[in-house]
Amino acid sequence: DGGITQSPKYLFRKEGQNVTLSCEQNLNHDAMYWYRQDPGQGLRLIYYSQIVNDFQKGDIAEGYSVSREKKESFPLTVTSAQKNPTAFYLCATNPGDRGAGANVLTFGAGSRLTVL
């Protein structure tokens, strides 16, 4: 089955540590996104990538970094510079074309990060 796999599902981190969240897709979608979800605040865009080896900052990129070395993978690193990293992180993909799937995001199941 095609889909998006996020790992780990739960992650605990001590203050000052960097952590990397994995996002892998086998949908053959060009575009990939990272969103952060906080209670009562909806989803906010962290980074996105429309093609391999290229990515752009979203609305809340400070304290995060990404890479896009392969079409299938878009890992997110939460660095120690992120002041309030405890949140639910969602990875999403989009076909990247202008057909019927245009602007339709497919989401992974999410990763919940807790800073101790």
Partner 1 sequence: GNSVTQMEGPVTLSEEAFLTINCTYTATGYPSLFWYVQYPGEGLQLLLKATKADDKGSNKGFEATYRKETTSFHLEKGSVQVSDSAVYFCALSDHGGSQGNLIFGKGTKLSVKP
Which parts of this chain interact with partner 1 (CB under 8 A)? Answer: 4, 6, 31, 33, 40-43, 45, 48, 50, 56, 58, 90, 92, 94, 96, 98, 102-110
- Angle (CA) 111 97 67, round 5°: 40
Closest to partner 1 by CB, 50 or 80: 50
Q: With contact defined as beta carbons under 8 Å apart, do 111 and 8 qualify?
A: yes
Nearer to partner 1, 15 or 100 (CB): 100
Distance of closest approach, residue 108 Cβ to partner 1, in angstroms: 5
Least distance (Å) between residue 42 CB and partner 1: 4
Q: How far is the CB of 15 from partner 1 (least distance, A)?
A: 25
CA distances, 107 to each of 43, 81, 92, 116 (Å): 12, 26, 4, 27
For 13, half-sphere exposure in the C-beta direction (CA atoms, 13 angstrom radius) is: 25
